[in-house]
Chain A
């Protein structure tokens, strides 16, 4: 295969004395959906936060499109096409839905922002209906849609999704995942962190399994789904 669009080489990171990542290697190729699964506290969210430089890597290199991005300030990354939908949605509750979406395009000042907004409204019609309402008044699932929509406003090349199914009804989860697939088919590379390992692996190309700060397994998603160890530990079979 060609050069990976995003690569983590031997990344170590943590919070003070707590070592959350103990040297992980992850490669993501353009156009893929890569799923990261693991138990609570395995370090999945920390991985995404380290990619975005919210958490500083203490050693190792992160390459994005061949460029080392360890020292790039987090607020420059969306402009380069790297955008995250953080765990727990974290929309701006008192801004309206429209303003929330505008914040996603904060660094942009081109003419196509309105077109992109229309595109997001097309994906999530409920957002158009409520567009003057405060973000905090949406339901959990609608907030997740808003969070994804907000990230799409930055026209990401690589979209990092942290547990998009958190606390959502099965039907909404299905809807969200089909939209993620759609986003991917339009050319966005996706890193998907999920508790819901079965669904995540069944839609991903490849998967990584994290355990207490280490990558313990990486493989084609199908192979992981059929792996008896994984089935026992993460798929509950």
Chain B
């Protein structure tokens, strides 16, 4: 740590703090009585003090004041890492599933509820991961397929009393069909243009759901959706097959767990197939892939549709679990949320996406008391992540291999 470096850090901190004050003032200082400095200053000096302290610690660390802790800690972390990398991924997968399967046995309603929510988003994130992480297409309207899936099951269940298990593939198929329709027209577009088209498509879907009163009951939503049913042995008088509704939370928990396991395996298999390789090649360089004989148009369409199918499946489950759907569950904010999970966790990495979903769904629940500042913290964390770990929390092997980018 040299003196000029030391000075540079403090000057940039100073400039940053002045800038922060200028930004904060209009946000906090404008009162009905006029502009006031005290309340802004009150918040500002705390932030400034905190940041100065952090910078101080950082500089001490740079100067080597913490070597006595960090060195042994680093050694421990290193050996832990090598120990964990010895265990194959499949073992972690099984352990993870086993632990998740045990949750309903000792966790309360609330925890189960949060866990179910998490798992819905894991399905969504993994589906979107195919489109964004593997094929490299920016999709801002992914939630539309979730909505299509949810409404498909909702309407089939209410109007025709069809069972959940029949509707599950139908919902996935409908979402896939929707993706095919929109994808067929727009797959020739690249990058930002595609993002805008998908964004528009999602809004159109929501508008249709909102305004087609006779079919969807508009903003009031669809009620009276049946929970998944199951034939199960009934031992009360001999052994008969009895139809039961999986209304209990712990039972429905296992339904989504099965869906998650199915999704993980399916996405893993896709990613490591020829098709997955082609998707990654398209992400890397579309023209080169085309010159090498990859049918880029169909491959992209396939990625878009298969991503949508997983979204539709998650949607059907969502409808069955809430037993009520309304258009307001499928806003752009949800799309952005799922996209953030994929980016935050690590594009193209299945464990990354799962971790991303946990971080974005479970963590806010833990910090419920700070509800008010949720979005603020969310934005802050995202910014920090992009600064310090742009490849995501658990990046895929590829991203790590190529180092930067």
List residues of A whose CB falls within 8 A of some B CB.
52, 54, 73-79, 83-84, 86, 90-96, 99, 102-104, 106-107, 133-134, 136-137, 150-151, 154
Which residues of B sit under 8 angstroms from A137, Cβ to Cβ? 401-403
> Given A75-B293, A137-B401, 14 other A-B contacts at CB below 8 A?
A75-B296, A76-B293, A78-B291, A92-B284, A93-B402, A94-B399, A94-B401, A94-B405, A95-B280, A106-B277, A106-B281, A134-B398, A136-B405, A154-B292
Closest to A147 in B: B288
Cα–Cα, bound, A150→B292 (Å): 8
Which residues of A sit under 8 angstroms from B403, Cβ to Cβ? 137
Cβ 8 A contact of B402, one of A76, A78, A94: A94
Which residues of A sit under 8 angstroms from B289, Cβ to Cβ? 92, 103
Which residues of A sit under 8 angstroms from B277, Cβ to Cβ? 95, 99, 102-103, 106
Closest to B399 in A: A94
Q: 5 closest pairs, A vs B, by CB?
A: A78-B293, A92-B284, A90-B288, A107-B293, A134-B402
Q: Determine if B274 is an interface residue (Cβ-Cβ < 8 Å).
A: yes
Known: A95-B281, A103-B281. A74 touches B398 (CB 8 A): no
Contact (Cβ within 8 A) B284 A93: yes
Interface residues of B in 370-405 (CB under 8 A from A): 398-399, 401-403, 405
A191 to chain B, nearest CB (A): 14
Question: Which of B280, B287, B401 counts the most chain A CB atoms within 10 A?
Answer: B401
Contact (Cβ within 8 A) A78 B292: yes
Interface SS, B side: helix
Closest to A54 in B: B287
Contact (Cβ within 8 A) B296 A95: no
Contact (Cβ within 8 A) B294 A106: yes
Question: Which of A52, A54, A90, A96 counts the most chain B CB atoms within 10 A?
Answer: A90
Closest to A89 in B: B288
Which residues of A sit under 8 angstroms from B401, Cβ to Cβ? 94, 96, 133-134, 137
Cα–Cα, bound, A102→B294 (Å): 11
Question: Which of B274, B398, B405 counts the most chain A CB atoms within 10 A?
Answer: B398
Contact (Cβ within 8 A) A77 B293: yes
Which residues of B sit under 8 angstroms from A133, Cβ to Cβ? 401
B133 to chain A, nearest CB (A): 12
B284 to chain A, nearest CB (A): 4
Cα–Cα, bound, A96→B289 (Å): 15
Cβ 8 A contact of B291, one of A86, A94, A99: A86
Contact (Cβ within 8 A) A79 B293: yes
Which residues of B sit under 8 angstroms from A151, Cβ to Cβ? 292
Which residues of A sit under 8 angstroms from B14, Cβ to Cβ? none
B interface residue count range (under 10 / 10 to 19 / 20 to 34 / 35 or more): 20 to 34
**17 A–B contacts from the bound complex (CB under 8 Å):** A75-B293, A75-B295, A78-B291, A79-B293, A83-B291, A86-B288, A91-B285, A92-B285, A92-B288, A92-B289, A94-B280, A94-B284, A95-B280, A103-B277, A106-B278, A107-B293, A136-B402
Cα–Cα, bound, A136→B405 (Å): 10
Which residues of A sit under 8 angstroms from B291, Cβ to Cβ? 52, 54, 74, 78, 83-84, 86
Cα–Cα, bound, A95→B136 (Å): 14
A47 to chain B, nearest CB (A): 14
Cα–Cα, bound, A52→B405 (Å): 30
Contact (Cβ within 8 A) A95 B284: yes
Which residues of B sit under 8 angstroms from A90, Cβ to Cβ? 285, 287-288
Cα–Cα, bound, A151→B296 (Å): 17
Which residues of B sit under 8 angstroms from A136, Cβ to Cβ? 402, 405
Q: Determine if B234 is an interface residue (Cβ-Cβ < 8 Å).
A: no
Which residues of A sit under 8 angstroms from B284, Cβ to Cβ? 92-95
Q: Determine if B290 is an interface residue (Cβ-Cβ < 8 Å).
A: yes
Which residues of B sit under 8 angstroms from A134, Cβ to Cβ? 398, 401-402
Contact (Cβ within 8 A) B292 A103: yes
Known: A75-B296, A102-B277, A106-B294. A95 touches B398 (CB 8 A): yes
B401 to chain A, nearest CB (A): 4
Which residues of B sit under 8 angstroms from A76, Cβ to Cβ? 293
Cα–Cα, bound, A103→B278 (Å): 7
B396 to chain A, nearest CB (A): 9
Cβ 8 A contact of B281, one of A54, A79, A86, A92: A92
Cβ 8 A contact of B288, one of A79, A91, A94, A99: A91
Which residues of B sit under 8 angstroms from A86, Cβ to Cβ? 287-288, 291
Cα–Cα, bound, A92→B278 (Å): 11
Which residues of A sit under 8 angstroms from B287, Cβ to Cβ? 54, 86, 90
A92 to chain B, nearest CB (A): 4
Closest to A80 in B: B293
Question: Which of B291, B403, B405 counts the most chain A CB atoms within 10 A?
Answer: B291
Cα–Cα, bound, A104→B293 (Å): 8
Interface residues of B in 265-319 (CB under 8 A from A): 274, 277-278, 280-281, 284-285, 287-296
Cα–Cα, bound, A136→B295 (Å): 23
Cα–Cα, bound, A104→B402 (Å): 21
Cα–Cα, bound, A107→B280 (Å): 16
Cβ 8 A contact of A106, one of B285, B292, B405: B292
